[in-house]
Structure 1
Amino acid sequence: MAKQIRFNAFDMNAAMHNPHGLWKHPDNERHRYKDLRYWVELAQLLERGLFDAFFLADVYGFYDVFRGSRDAALRDAVQAPINDPALIIPTMAYATRHLGFSVTVPTTYEHPYAHARRMTTLDHLTNGRIGWNVVTSFLPSAARNFGLNGMIGHDERYERAEEYMEVVYKLWEGSWADDAVVRDPAAGVYTDPLKVREIGHEGKHYRVPGPHLSEPSPQRTPVIYQAGASERGRAFAAKHAECVFIDGHSFESMKFYVDDIRARAAAYGREPDDVQVFMALSTIVGRTEAEAEEKYRELTDLSSTDGPQAIYGGYTGIDLAQGDPNQILTYRATDHGQTVMARYTKLSPKEMTYGEVIESVTRIGGRTVLLKGSAEQVADRMQEWVEKTGIDGFNLGHLVTPGSLKEIVELIVPILQERGLYKTSYVAGTMREKLFGVGRARLPERHPGAGYRLGRGE
């Protein structure tokens, strides 16, 4: 049986996400992001298309590296204004039955004790359909707004994240027994105190005696997502992640990332298939190739030049406006994200000038792969990416919302289903069970987080 392709929708609770300038499109409904009905309609569309998850990104600062100012970001709605992504999830979950929700929360600024309760609450309210995208945060403006003089170093952020994971695993897996809540009116006992324990965490960065405030949720630990492709990020993903999100730009580089992360996971005692990999993808789908090309020209006319450079500056710490257009952009390690920096330098098949990088990032689709054409052509290319790289599916951006997602649901999904490459119904159970199989509602025993369960590691 052919491998089935999985879809997530990639979004943000913001006026715009990544396709900057396209907020001007007359069919774009992004300005409705403050309206719960907007999110309910999107969630129901995704469930109709049998998407696995609604992947909600987040950011805690402004993109202000480009020209030393946040002005370009504000003018072009570069992930600002933005609202809290977690708060829209319960309403979307209430309006759906199967769709999963992955929410981004940084380990750098959010305290693990409060975060653990929030995620358990969301897992309860979604009936086990919540995932957590673990990030370490990378914007200097975010660090300043949390009272720091500057960003914490890239590798130190991952060091803190490791301890953070230890704390939340202890709270989720090791604080409450499954049968702690007895609700026994005759005995006058709601929760058995003997089955709730402190975690007694004393670490370099955190001191958390516990116990966890919340009773165990359907999954206990949410499905763990991670979106870092740097050396340190891949090591973190191999140890903790169940789903990994990576920008792709060639079959060869994507296959390298997939094989590398799965091999590292095996070195931690996990199975390679314990990690599913999703590639960032944008699409322009027409009923004919000519229609898709016309849509592309229309979107190009509306696209922004400054907005994508603002995003690039935030991700890399490099202000492209400060370079000579004919000067070669060389790799330099910064405390921002390292993957996007490497994409146009040491991972590029050729040296690129500042001008060429600007041309690339400002193109429709930007740094992610863009597939355009008829529905058959786009489906063919999706299948090719899966077959040549070993990825499990795609994190789908949408250039025009909700139009780009409707194209996928109405035009692409039926073709993939006819080929046996896409599910025709959801399986029962939690988000983790839908991804990995019925009966796997909780972390498998071989996952490092399972080592903190009651009765283990004592």
Structure 2
Amino acid sequence: MSGRIIVNGFEMNCLAHMAHGLWAHPRDRRRGYTGLEYWIELAALLERGRLDALFIADVLGVYDTFRSSPDAAVAAGAQIPANDPALVVPAMAVGTTNLSFAVSVSTSYESPFGHARRFSTLDHLTQGRVGWNVVTSYLPNAAKNFGWERMVLHDERYDRADEYLDVCYQLWEASWEEDAVSVDGTTQRYADPAKVHPIDHRGDFFSVAGPHLCEPSPQRTPVIYQAGNSARGRKFAARHAECVFLSGVVPASLRRSADDVRTQASAAGRAPDDVKILTSLSVIVAEDETAVCRKREELQRWVNVDGMLAQYCGTTGFDLAAMSRSDVVTYRDTDHGQGGAALFTSDVQRPVTVGDIVDSMTQLGETTLLAIGTPVQVADQMEEWIDEIGLDGFNIIQFLTPETFTDFIDMVVPELQRRGRYQTEYTPGTFREKLFGPGRALLPDRHPGGLVRPPACVPSDQP
């Protein structure tokens, strides 16, 4: 397989995203995450490196499964404190012209009406460079934060998300006709009321009258990302997602999930190129193997094991502290993250004990694909996984901020560019056009969102 590899920076508006403990490293700058300068400089760095987007994760609660307490997460700074991911995007957009932004927002606890307005605003402010990573939220604490007695069951969260997306599509795509905004200064008539419509949605979960409060933005619907490995999550992704973010460390398992999403998407009437598949990737790179080993050993010394376990247990719903080291951990369906639950259980070929998982958590990069070596070696590994799994790209995780990104940009990117696998210049246009090609600023009419759009709004030149 050949072709361009999509690469996003993977981040979160918090002290510690995935590599817990490394915020304390003397060269790490994560403690600046509360200031705009941090985000502006980060965006400028990623644009210099021609990365496609900054993918910003989020949670709405604290990891409190480990030891039945939030204390380990709070002490380690494991995704707490965490600020709103959307509010830093406009500042980053001002300082960039091509970098795009995929923002994680849950469908479980907020109104689709307010959400649609927020993303239309972001799409306007970024000139069409925004995407929405659709998540359903797996933390029981998140449910309690929004007044729910219990967390919504796993598959029911996706039923709710299906309707949530349908409401958003109606607001973004059907409420305002393409020529509704006329801007006639002579008559002081900005828009034609006959072309601005209520949606009058009445469903199982939502009741929304409309019309949408925002005029059509450059993309109307933001690029739809989705993160979920479960069977129900893949079904959801096949219907809605344009970029699917799969998690895992076993290439064969990732390949099965990727193939399943594409097969279901085709059965739903979507084209093969309508869905891009990505996974997370950790990178440790240096100019020679001696420096690589030295760097890995240095980073390893800063790992906070309790922070890593707090995130793993909160993600899976497995409290490892309530088990003995010799207990074998087997897969079970959970209302937490089923992809995380499969990571060390059904995704591996041998029985795994609590001790095995705890020991893995002490090692950086055990929960993602990990590329280690010289620039040539890292590029080789990336190409191998792209071809073996059938991926379109990666979300790059940081160990040190911003050193991990800087190393990747200065050492690996030139090697990938030399091989013709990485963009040397950005494609003009919106986020969707940068991913799918010129003339595809809007969802294709075969997508569920495109299907609700009035015929006059369908682009005539779409493939």
What's the TM-score, normalizing by structure 1?
0.98
Conserved in 2, the CA contact under 8 Å of 1:56 and 1:101?
yes
The residue number in structure 1 matching 2:7 is 7
Conserved in 2, the CA contact under 8 Å of 1:308 and 1:366?
no
Distance 2:311 2:406 in 1: 26
Q: Aligned with 1:389: secondary structure? A: helix
Distance 1:359 1:448 in 2: 44
Q: Gapped runs of 5+ residues in structure 2?
A: 457-463
The residue number in structure 1 matching 2:17 is 17
Shift of 1:46: 0.4
The residue number in structure 1 matching 2:129 is 129
The residue number in structure 2 matching 1:300 is 300
Shift of 1:361: 2.7
Aligned-partner residue type, residue 211 of structure 1:
P
1:63-82 alpha-carbon deviations (Å, 9 max, x no partner)? 01100111111111100111
Q: Aligned with 1:234: secondary structure? A: helix
Distance 2:12 2:386 in 1: 25
Shift of 1:127: 0.1
Distance 1:293 1:394 in 2: 23
Distance 1:200 1:175 in 2: 10
1:145-169 alpha-carbon deviations (Å, 9 max, x no partner)? 1001110100110000011011000
The residue number in structure 1 matching 2:443 is 443
Distance 1:138 1:2 in 2: 36
Q: Gapped runs of 5+ residues in structure 1?
A: none
Q: Aligned with 1:190: secondary structure? A: strand
Conserved in 1, the CA contact under 8 Å of 2:63 and 2:314?
yes
Aligned-partner residue type, residue 156 of structure 2:
E
Shift of 1:321: 0.9
Percent of matched pairs sharing the same residue: 52
The residue number in structure 1 matching 2:353 is 353
Conserved in 1, the CA contact under 8 Å of 2:123 and 2:218?
yes
Distance 2:320 2:290 in 1: 34
Distance 1:203 1:365 in 2: 43
1:103-131 alpha-carbon deviations (Å, 9 max, x no partner)? 00000011100000000000000000000
Q: CA RMSD in A?
A: 1.0
The residue number in structure 1 matching 2:415 is 415
Are 1:44 and 2:25 matched, yes or no?
no
Q: Aligned with 1:331: secondary structure? A: coil
Shift of 1:349: 1.3
Distance 2:84 2:32 in 1: 15
Conserved in 2, the CA contact under 8 Å of 1:101 and 1:130?
yes
Shift of 1:188: 2.1
Conserved in 1, the CA contact under 8 Å of 2:248 and 2:343?
no
Q: Aligned with 1:324: secondary structure? A: coil
Shift of 1:260: 1.1
The residue number in structure 1 matching 2:92 is 92
The residue number in structure 2 matching 1:26 is 26
The residue number in structure 1 matching 2:220 is 220
Conserved in 2, the CA contact under 8 Å of 1:226 and 1:245?
yes
Shift of 1:245: 0.7
Q: Aligned with 1:302: secondary structure? A: coil
Distance 2:346 2:411 in 1: 37
Shift of 1:248: 2.9
1:294-340 alpha-carbon deviations (Å, 9 max, x no partner)? 11111111111111110011111111111110111011222111111
Distance 1:402 1:188 in 2: 50
Shift of 1:455: 4.7
The residue number in structure 2 matching 1:175 is 175
The residue number in structure 1 matching 2:197 is 197
Aligned-partner residue type, residue 191 of structure 2:
T
The residue number in structure 2 matching 1:376 is 376
Are 1:433 and 2:401 matched, yes or no?
no
Shift of 1:289: 1.3
> What aligned pairs does 1:292-371 form with structure 2 within 5 A after superposition?
292-371=292-371
Conserved in 2, the CA contact under 8 Å of 1:262 and 1:273?
no
Distance 1:153 1:2 in 2: 41
The residue number in structure 1 matching 2:460 is none
Q: Aligned with 1:260: secondary structure? A: helix
Aligned-partner residue type, residue 171 of structure 1:
L
> What aligned pairs does 1:272-283 form with structure 2 within 5 A after superposition?
272-283=272-283
Conserved in 2, the CA contact under 8 Å of 1:120 and 1:220?
yes
Q: Aligned with 2:149: secondary structure? A: coil
Distance 2:388 2:347 in 1: 19
Conserved in 2, the CA contact under 8 Å of 1:102 and 1:133?
yes
Q: Give the 4+ runs in structure 1 shifted more than 3 A.
A: none
Shift of 1:250: 2.2
The residue number in structure 1 matching 2:247 is 247
The residue number in structure 1 matching 2:389 is 389
Distance 1:150 1:249 in 2: 31
Aligned-partner residue type, residue 234 of structure 1:
R
Shift of 1:362: 2.9
Q: Aligned with 2:19: secondary structure? A: coil
Aligned-partner residue type, residue 104 of structure 2:
T
Distance 1:53 1:190 in 2: 34
Distance 2:142 2:400 in 1: 28
1:363-419 alpha-carbon deviations (Å, 9 max, x no partner)? 101311111111111111011111111101110001000000001110000001111
The residue number in structure 1 matching 2:62 is 62
> What aligned pairs does 1:138-149 form with structure 2 within 5 A after superposition?
138-149=138-149
Distance 2:206 2:233 in 1: 21
